[in-house]
Amino acid sequence: EVQLVESGGGLVQPGGSLRLSCAASGFTFSSYDMHWVRQATGKGLEWVSVIGTAGDTYYAGSVKGRFTISRENAKNSVYLQMNSLRTGDTAVYYCAGAVTGSFDYWGQGTLVTVSS
């Protein structure tokens, strides 16, 4: 059974940092591009970042320079280091796996709340 389990969300003050983790199982993790997608309450899906199978990384303009994605294939895990957090970063963060251009697997999401 395929599973993606996110963790690390929570309440943080503006300007603070959080590190999200996503643990994968049930598929060949190293063969998948791994993405983070977020969704603010009542809003649409917003792509955040991707790390390819070769370790190449891309970011949405809204998070570039503040967020860092990484992966550890030996642990079947992907991470999102989020620094200089803003209230606009408040959302449910999903990790998702894609081998082609579609998201094949999704986690259940972890809530990040940025508030003073």
Partner 1 sequence: DIQMTQSPSSLSASVGDRVTITCQASQDISNYLNWYQQKPGKAPKLLIYDASNLETGVPSRFSGSGSGTDFTFTISSLQPEDIATYYCQQYDNLPRPLIFGGGTKVEIK
Binding site for partner 1 (CB under 8 A): 33, 35, 44-47, 50-53, 56, 58, 60, 94, 96, 98, 100-104, 106-109
Residue 103 tokens read as 């998201």
Q: Which residues contact 35 (CB under 8 A, 6 or more apart)?
A: 47, 48, 49, 50, 95, 96, 97, 98, 103
Whose Cβ is closer to partner 1: residue 37's or residue 85's?
37
Q: Cβ of residue 113: shortest distance to partner 1, in angstroms?
A: 16
Q: Cβ of residue 116: shortest distance to partner 1, in angstroms?
A: 27
Q: Cβ of residue 14: shortest distance to partner 1, in angstroms?
A: 26
Whose Cβ is closer to partner 1: residue 81's or residue 106's?
106
Whose Cβ is closer to partner 1: residue 41's or residue 116's?
41
Q: Cβ of residue 41: shortest distance to partner 1, in angstroms?
A: 11
Whose Cβ is closer to partner 1: residue 8's or residue 52's?
52
